[in-house]
A = this chain, B = another copy of it.
Amino acid sequence: MAGNSFGNLFKVTTFGESHGTAIGGVIDGCPAGIHLDMIAIQNEMSRRKPGQSDIVTQRKEPDTVQFLSGIFEGLTTGTPIGFVIKNANQKSKDYSHIKDVYRPSHADYTYDKKYGVRDYRGGGRSSARETACRVVAGAIAKQLLKGVSIHAFTSSVGKISINQPYQNLDFSKIETNAVRCPDDVIAKKMITEIKNIRKEGDTIGGTVTCVLKNVPVGLGEPVFDKLHAELGKAMLSINAVKGFEYGSGFCGVEMKGSEHNDIFNEDGSTKTNLSGGIQGGISNGEDIYFRVAFKPVATIMQKQKTINSEGQKLEMQGRGRHDPCVVPRAVPIVEAMAALVVADYYLLNKITKL
Protein backbone atom coordinates (compact mmCIF):
# COMPACT_ATOMS: atom_id res chain seq x y z
CA MET A 1 0.00 0.00 0.00
CA ALA A 2 2.74 2.41 1.02
CA GLY A 3 4.70 1.34 -2.01
CA ASN A 4 7.61 -0.68 -0.71
CA SER A 5 6.37 -4.15 -1.62
CA PHE A 6 6.30 -5.83 -5.01
CA GLY A 7 4.60 -9.03 -6.04
CA ASN A 8 1.53 -10.99 -5.05
CA LEU A 9 2.67 -14.46 -4.00
CA PHE A 10 6.41 -14.04 -4.42
CA LYS A 11 6.62 -10.73 -2.63
CA VAL A 12 9.56 -8.54 -1.75
CA THR A 13 9.41 -5.62 0.66
CA THR A 14 12.44 -3.35 0.78
CA PHE A 15 13.66 -0.69 3.17
CA GLY A 16 16.58 1.65 3.53
CA GLU A 17 18.08 4.95 2.60
CA SER A 18 21.31 5.46 0.68
CA HIS A 19 23.17 6.84 3.68
CA GLY A 20 21.43 5.12 6.57
CA THR A 21 22.85 2.18 8.49
CA ALA A 22 21.78 -0.42 5.99
CA ILE A 23 19.31 -1.27 3.27
CA GLY A 24 17.53 -4.59 3.11
CA GLY A 25 14.28 -6.38 2.69
CA VAL A 26 12.06 -9.37 3.23
CA ILE A 27 11.10 -11.91 0.59
CA ASP A 28 7.86 -13.54 1.61
CA GLY A 29 6.28 -16.36 -0.35
CA CYS A 30 9.37 -18.02 -1.74
CA PRO A 31 8.44 -21.71 -1.95
CA ALA A 32 10.20 -24.12 0.39
CA GLY A 33 12.87 -26.54 -0.70
CA ILE A 34 14.81 -24.47 -3.21
CA HIS A 35 18.55 -24.98 -2.98
CA LEU A 36 20.03 -21.49 -3.18
CA ASP A 37 23.28 -20.83 -4.99
CA MET A 38 24.71 -18.05 -2.85
CA ILE A 39 27.55 -17.31 -5.25
CA ALA A 40 25.09 -16.71 -8.06
CA ILE A 41 23.24 -14.22 -5.87
CA GLN A 42 26.40 -12.34 -5.03
CA ASN A 43 27.40 -12.33 -8.70
CA GLU A 44 24.20 -10.50 -9.56
CA MET A 45 25.03 -7.99 -6.84
CA SER A 46 28.45 -7.44 -8.41
CA ARG A 47 26.89 -6.72 -11.79
CA ARG A 48 24.99 -3.84 -10.21
CA LYS A 49 27.54 -2.49 -7.77
CA PRO A 50 29.37 0.80 -8.18
CA GLY A 51 33.00 0.85 -9.17
CA GLN A 52 32.81 -2.20 -11.40
CA SER A 53 34.30 -0.50 -14.49
CA ASP A 54 35.68 2.80 -15.66
CA ILE A 55 32.39 4.01 -17.18
CA VAL A 56 30.33 3.88 -13.99
CA THR A 57 30.47 5.71 -10.69
CA GLN A 58 33.75 5.13 -8.86
CA ARG A 59 32.16 4.85 -5.43
CA LYS A 60 33.38 1.81 -3.55
CA GLU A 61 30.64 -0.27 -2.00
CA PRO A 62 31.18 -3.99 -1.53
CA ASP A 63 27.41 -4.61 -1.59
CA THR A 64 27.57 -7.84 0.33
CA VAL A 65 24.21 -9.28 1.16
CA GLN A 66 23.69 -10.97 4.53
CA PHE A 67 20.73 -13.32 4.87
CA LEU A 68 19.15 -13.41 8.31
CA SER A 69 16.36 -15.99 8.00
CA GLY A 70 14.35 -18.27 5.78
CA ILE A 71 17.29 -20.37 4.63
CA PHE A 72 18.42 -23.45 6.54
CA GLU A 73 21.13 -25.87 5.53
CA GLY A 74 21.17 -24.32 2.06
CA LEU A 75 17.44 -24.67 1.41
CA THR A 76 14.63 -22.15 1.47
CA THR A 77 12.29 -23.08 4.29
CA GLY A 78 9.13 -21.35 3.08
CA THR A 79 9.45 -18.77 5.84
CA PRO A 80 10.34 -15.15 5.05
CA ILE A 81 13.86 -14.45 3.86
CA GLY A 82 15.17 -11.37 5.64
CA PHE A 83 18.35 -9.74 4.38
CA VAL A 84 20.49 -6.64 4.90
CA ILE A 85 23.19 -4.88 2.92
CA LYS A 86 25.29 -2.55 5.00
CA ASN A 87 25.97 0.93 3.71
CA ALA A 88 29.74 1.22 3.54
CA ASN A 89 29.68 4.71 2.22
CA GLN A 90 28.05 6.69 5.00
CA LYS A 91 29.74 10.04 4.65
CA SER A 92 26.97 12.31 5.73
CA LYS A 93 28.98 15.47 5.50
CA ASP A 94 29.32 15.03 1.75
CA TYR A 95 25.68 15.96 1.55
CA SER A 96 25.37 18.84 3.97
CA HIS A 97 25.60 21.30 1.09
CA ILE A 98 22.37 19.99 -0.37
CA LYS A 99 20.40 19.78 2.86
CA ASP A 100 17.93 22.46 1.84
CA VAL A 101 18.61 22.48 -1.87
CA TYR A 102 16.22 21.05 -4.40
CA ARG A 103 18.36 19.45 -7.11
CA PRO A 104 16.73 19.80 -10.56
CA SER A 105 14.90 16.68 -11.80
CA HIS A 106 15.67 14.84 -8.57
CA ALA A 107 13.05 13.84 -6.01
CA ASP A 108 14.11 16.37 -3.36
CA TYR A 109 11.23 18.74 -3.97
CA THR A 110 8.51 16.11 -4.23
CA TYR A 111 9.67 14.15 -1.17
CA ASP A 112 9.73 17.34 0.87
CA LYS A 113 6.23 18.31 -0.26
CA LYS A 114 4.81 14.83 0.21
CA TYR A 115 6.35 13.81 3.51
CA GLY A 116 7.25 17.15 5.10
CA VAL A 117 10.53 15.63 6.23
CA ARG A 118 13.36 14.10 4.22
CA ASP A 119 16.61 12.25 4.71
CA TYR A 120 18.61 14.61 2.54
CA ARG A 121 21.78 12.53 2.58
CA GLY A 122 22.45 11.49 -0.99
CA GLY A 123 18.91 11.01 -2.14
CA GLY A 124 17.81 9.00 0.87
CA ARG A 125 15.05 6.63 -0.11
CA SER A 126 14.86 8.00 -3.65
CA SER A 127 18.42 6.92 -4.36
CA ALA A 128 18.97 4.10 -6.84
CA ARG A 129 20.89 2.35 -4.07
CA GLU A 130 17.52 0.82 -3.16
CA THR A 131 17.67 -1.26 -6.33
CA ALA A 132 20.38 -3.43 -4.77
CA CYS A 133 17.59 -5.08 -2.78
CA ARG A 134 15.66 -5.75 -5.96
CA VAL A 135 18.70 -7.52 -7.35
CA VAL A 136 18.88 -9.78 -4.29
CA ALA A 137 15.23 -10.76 -4.62
CA GLY A 138 15.49 -11.11 -8.38
CA ALA A 139 18.50 -13.41 -8.05
CA ILE A 140 16.42 -15.74 -5.89
CA ALA A 141 13.49 -15.49 -8.30
CA LYS A 142 15.81 -16.53 -11.12
CA GLN A 143 16.75 -19.67 -9.19
CA LEU A 144 13.09 -20.52 -8.76
CA LEU A 145 12.56 -20.24 -12.53
CA LYS A 146 14.58 -23.17 -13.71
CA GLY A 147 14.60 -23.37 -17.48
CA VAL A 148 13.61 -19.76 -18.07
CA SER A 149 16.41 -17.58 -19.43
CA ILE A 150 16.40 -13.84 -18.86
CA HIS A 151 18.85 -11.65 -20.75
CA ALA A 152 18.87 -7.89 -20.63
CA PHE A 153 21.41 -5.76 -22.45
CA THR A 154 22.14 -2.17 -23.39
CA SER A 155 20.46 -1.54 -26.72
CA SER A 156 21.21 2.16 -26.99
CA VAL A 157 23.22 4.96 -25.38
CA GLY A 158 22.13 8.38 -26.52
CA LYS A 159 21.84 8.14 -30.30
CA ILE A 160 24.05 5.06 -30.60
CA SER A 161 21.92 1.95 -30.88
CA ILE A 162 22.06 -1.65 -32.01
CA ASN A 163 20.68 -1.88 -35.52
CA GLN A 164 19.82 -5.55 -35.75
CA PRO A 165 17.08 -7.71 -34.31
CA TYR A 166 17.84 -9.38 -31.00
CA GLN A 167 17.68 -12.77 -32.68
CA ASN A 168 21.02 -11.99 -34.38
CA LEU A 169 22.79 -11.20 -31.13
CA ASP A 170 25.00 -13.47 -29.07
CA PHE A 171 23.89 -12.96 -25.48
CA SER A 172 27.05 -14.58 -24.15
CA LYS A 173 28.85 -11.37 -25.16
CA ILE A 174 26.77 -9.14 -22.91
CA GLU A 175 29.11 -9.43 -19.96
CA THR A 176 32.26 -9.16 -22.05
CA ASN A 177 32.25 -5.37 -22.14
CA ALA A 178 31.67 -2.62 -19.62
CA VAL A 179 28.54 -1.27 -21.26
CA ARG A 180 26.79 -4.66 -21.48
CA CYS A 181 26.06 -4.48 -25.20
CA PRO A 182 26.29 -7.81 -27.10
CA ASP A 183 27.29 -6.06 -30.34
CA ASP A 184 31.07 -5.53 -30.06
CA VAL A 185 31.27 -2.69 -32.54
CA ILE A 186 28.38 -0.76 -31.06
CA ALA A 187 29.63 -1.46 -27.55
CA LYS A 188 32.90 0.33 -28.28
CA LYS A 189 31.06 3.34 -29.63
CA MET A 190 28.84 3.43 -26.57
CA ILE A 191 31.82 3.30 -24.23
CA THR A 192 33.52 6.13 -26.08
CA GLU A 193 30.30 8.15 -25.99
CA ILE A 194 29.92 7.68 -22.24
CA LYS A 195 33.53 8.71 -21.61
CA ASN A 196 33.08 11.82 -23.73
CA ILE A 197 29.90 12.73 -21.94
CA ARG A 198 31.60 12.30 -18.58
CA LYS A 199 34.44 14.60 -19.66
CA GLU A 200 31.82 17.25 -20.38
CA GLY A 201 30.54 16.81 -16.85
CA ASP A 202 27.30 15.70 -18.41
CA THR A 203 25.17 12.54 -18.52
CA ILE A 204 23.28 10.63 -21.21
CA GLY A 205 20.25 8.35 -21.44
CA GLY A 206 19.83 4.98 -23.09
CA THR A 207 17.65 1.92 -23.48
CA VAL A 208 17.80 -1.60 -22.13
CA THR A 209 16.24 -4.47 -24.05
CA CYS A 210 15.27 -7.65 -22.25
CA VAL A 211 14.50 -11.06 -23.74
CA LEU A 212 12.92 -13.95 -21.82
CA LYS A 213 13.02 -17.40 -23.35
CA ASN A 214 11.14 -20.52 -22.32
CA VAL A 215 8.55 -18.76 -20.19
CA PRO A 216 5.76 -21.32 -19.75
CA VAL A 217 2.49 -20.75 -21.60
CA GLY A 218 -0.30 -19.38 -19.43
CA LEU A 219 1.32 -16.74 -17.22
CA GLY A 220 -0.67 -13.52 -16.77
CA GLU A 221 -3.85 -12.59 -14.95
CA PRO A 222 -6.40 -10.77 -17.08
CA VAL A 223 -7.87 -8.27 -17.09
CA PHE A 224 -5.92 -5.79 -14.98
CA ASP A 225 -2.88 -7.88 -14.17
CA LYS A 226 -1.90 -8.78 -17.69
CA LEU A 227 1.65 -10.08 -17.82
CA HIS A 228 2.95 -7.14 -19.84
CA ALA A 229 1.11 -4.66 -17.58
CA GLU A 230 2.96 -6.00 -14.56
CA LEU A 231 6.25 -6.10 -16.45
CA GLY A 232 5.62 -2.50 -17.45
CA LYS A 233 4.96 -1.44 -13.90
CA ALA A 234 8.04 -3.32 -12.72
CA MET A 235 10.26 -1.52 -15.20
CA LEU A 236 8.67 1.89 -14.72
CA SER A 237 9.31 1.56 -10.99
CA ILE A 238 13.08 1.54 -11.62
CA ASN A 239 14.77 4.89 -11.10
CA ALA A 240 15.11 7.06 -14.24
CA VAL A 241 12.77 4.99 -16.44
CA LYS A 242 10.54 7.02 -18.78
CA GLY A 243 9.01 4.40 -21.06
CA PHE A 244 8.24 0.76 -21.73
CA GLU A 245 7.20 -1.12 -24.83
CA TYR A 246 6.93 -4.83 -25.58
CA GLY A 247 6.66 -6.76 -28.81
CA SER A 248 6.06 -4.37 -31.68
CA GLY A 249 5.70 -1.53 -29.17
CA PHE A 250 5.43 1.99 -30.49
CA CYS A 251 6.40 0.76 -33.98
CA GLY A 252 3.26 -1.39 -33.98
CA VAL A 253 1.01 1.67 -34.13
CA GLU A 254 2.01 2.32 -37.73
CA MET A 255 1.24 -1.21 -38.88
CA LYS A 256 -1.87 -2.77 -40.34
CA GLY A 257 -3.58 -5.74 -38.75
CA SER A 258 -2.72 -7.86 -41.77
CA GLU A 259 0.95 -7.14 -41.19
CA HIS A 260 0.90 -7.28 -37.43
CA ASN A 261 -1.02 -10.51 -36.78
CA ASP A 262 1.16 -13.45 -35.82
CA ILE A 263 0.12 -16.47 -37.87
CA PHE A 264 0.15 -19.81 -36.07
CA ASN A 265 2.21 -22.86 -36.89
CA GLU A 266 0.45 -26.17 -36.38
CA ASP A 267 2.07 -26.67 -32.98
CA GLY A 268 0.63 -23.41 -31.63
CA SER A 269 3.87 -21.48 -32.01
CA THR A 270 3.76 -18.42 -34.27
CA LYS A 271 5.63 -17.59 -37.47
CA THR A 272 6.25 -14.02 -36.36
CA ASN A 273 6.22 -12.60 -32.85
CA LEU A 274 5.07 -9.02 -32.96
CA SER A 275 2.93 -9.95 -29.97
CA GLY A 276 6.12 -10.17 -27.94
CA GLY A 277 5.22 -13.53 -26.45
CA ILE A 278 2.05 -12.27 -24.77
CA GLN A 279 -1.51 -12.41 -26.13
CA GLY A 280 -4.48 -11.16 -24.16
CA GLY A 281 -2.13 -10.56 -21.27
CA ILE A 282 -1.04 -14.21 -21.10
CA SER A 283 2.29 -15.69 -22.20
CA ASN A 284 2.03 -17.87 -25.32
CA GLY A 285 5.38 -19.61 -25.13
CA GLU A 286 7.18 -17.40 -27.63
CA ASP A 287 10.04 -15.14 -26.57
CA ILE A 288 8.94 -12.26 -24.38
CA TYR A 289 10.88 -9.13 -25.24
CA PHE A 290 10.57 -5.53 -24.23
CA ARG A 291 12.49 -2.27 -24.22
CA VAL A 292 12.95 0.19 -21.36
CA ALA A 293 13.85 3.88 -21.73
CA PHE A 294 16.19 5.51 -19.20
CA LYS A 295 16.59 9.26 -19.02
CA PRO A 296 20.00 10.89 -18.48
CA VAL A 297 21.10 10.95 -14.82
CA ALA A 298 20.00 14.18 -13.19
CA THR A 299 23.24 14.77 -11.28
CA ILE A 300 25.66 16.54 -13.58
CA MET A 301 29.12 17.99 -12.90
CA GLN A 302 28.14 21.35 -14.30
CA LYS A 303 26.79 24.43 -12.60
CA GLN A 304 23.01 24.58 -12.52
CA LYS A 305 20.63 27.19 -11.23
CA THR A 306 18.14 25.96 -8.69
CA ILE A 307 16.26 26.89 -5.53
CA ASN A 308 16.28 25.85 -1.89
CA SER A 309 13.39 24.99 0.38
CA GLU A 310 12.89 28.68 1.12
CA GLY A 311 12.38 29.38 -2.56
CA GLN A 312 15.69 31.23 -2.79
CA LYS A 313 17.67 31.04 -6.02
CA LEU A 314 21.16 29.57 -5.92
CA GLU A 315 23.71 27.76 -8.01
CA MET A 316 24.82 24.23 -7.42
CA GLN A 317 27.12 21.63 -9.01
CA GLY A 318 27.15 17.88 -8.56
CA ARG A 319 29.95 16.53 -6.44
CA GLY A 320 31.24 13.11 -5.71
CA ARG A 321 31.16 10.06 -7.95
CA HIS A 322 28.11 9.60 -10.13
CA ASP A 323 27.21 7.55 -13.18
CA PRO A 324 27.49 9.42 -16.48
CA CYS A 325 25.04 6.86 -17.88
CA VAL A 326 22.87 4.63 -15.77
CA VAL A 327 22.18 2.01 -18.39
CA PRO A 328 25.09 -0.43 -17.92
CA ARG A 329 24.31 -0.87 -14.24
CA ALA A 330 20.57 -0.95 -14.96
CA VAL A 331 20.87 -4.16 -16.97
CA PRO A 332 20.89 -6.50 -13.93
CA ILE A 333 18.10 -4.46 -12.33
CA VAL A 334 15.89 -4.91 -15.38
CA GLU A 335 16.58 -8.64 -15.27
CA ALA A 336 15.82 -8.76 -11.55
CA MET A 337 12.48 -7.04 -11.93
CA ALA A 338 11.59 -9.28 -14.87
CA ALA A 339 12.46 -12.34 -12.78
CA LEU A 340 10.31 -11.10 -9.91
CA VAL A 341 7.29 -10.66 -12.19
CA VAL A 342 7.67 -14.01 -13.90
CA ALA A 343 8.27 -15.92 -10.64
CA ASP A 344 5.22 -14.31 -9.09
CA TYR A 345 3.03 -15.04 -12.08
CA TYR A 346 4.38 -18.56 -12.31
CA LEU A 347 3.13 -19.19 -8.78
CA LEU A 348 -0.18 -17.41 -9.44
CA ASN A 349 -0.77 -19.63 -12.44
CA LYS A 350 -0.43 -22.75 -10.29
CA ILE A 351 -3.93 -22.20 -9.00
CA THR A 352 -5.68 -21.35 -12.27
CA LYS A 353 -6.84 -24.93 -12.58
CA LEU A 354 -6.95 -27.63 -9.91
Binds B, one of A49-57, A164-172, A184-192, A198-206: A198-206
In the bound complex, residues from chain B placing their C-beta under 8 Å from that of A5 are 5, 13, 28, 224
**Which residues from chain B contact A44 at a C-beta distance below 8 Å?**
none
Tell me if A46 is interfacial: C-beta within 8 Å of chain B.
no
Q: Are A260 and B26 in contact (CB under 8 A)?
A: no
Known: A4-B80, A69-B23, A105-B262. A32 touches B353 (CB 8 A): yes
Contact of A22 with B by CB under 8 A: yes
Interface residues of A in 282-318 (CB under 8 A from B): 282-284, 293-300, 302, 304-307, 311-313
Does chain B have a CB within 8 A of A328? Answer: no
Residues of B within 8 A of A100 (CB): none
Q: Mark A100-115, 1 if CB is under 8 A from B, else 0.
A: 0010111101110111
Contact flag A197-B281 (CB < 8 Å), given A2-B28, A32-B117, A72-B117: no
A307 to B73, CA, bound (A): 23
Size bracket of the A interface: 35 or more
In contact, B82 and A16 (Cβ under 8 angstroms): yes
Can you list, as one digit per residue, whether each of A66-88 has a CB less than 8 Å from chain B (1) or not (0)?
11111011011111111010000
Least distance between A207 CB and chain B CB atoms (Å): 5
Contact A125 B223 (CB under 8 A): yes
CB–CB A252/B242 < 8 A? yes
Q: Evaluate contact between A245 and B248: CB separation under 8 angstroms.
A: no
Bound Cα distance from A41 to B188, whole angstroms: 56
A144 to B351, CA, bound (A): 12
Which of A16, A225, A261, A278: most chain B CB closer than 10 A?
A: A261
Determine whether the beta carbon of B33 is less than 8 Å from that of A354. Answer: yes
In contact, A253 and B205 (Cβ under 8 angstroms) = yes
Evaluate contact between A307 and B250: CB separation under 8 angstroms. Answer: no
A1 within 8 A of B: yes
Residue among A3, A15, A236, A255 with most chain B CB within 10 A: A3
- A254-280 CB mask vs B (1 if < 8 Å, else 0) is 111111111111111010001110111
A244 contact from B17, B244, B265, B282, Cβ within 8 A: B244
- A202: chain B residues at CB < 8 Å are 256-258
A116 at interface (Cβ–Cβ under 8 A)?
A: yes
Residues of B within 8 A of A62 (CB): none
| From A14, A159, A225, A260, residue with most partner B Cβ within 10 Å | A260
Q: Can you list 16 A-B contacts (CB < 8 A)? A: A5-B5, A15-B26, A15-B28, A78-B117, A84-B84, A102-B268, A110-B220, A110-B278, A114-B217, A144-B354, A236-B244, A250-B250, A252-B293, A260-B298, A264-B306, A274-B295
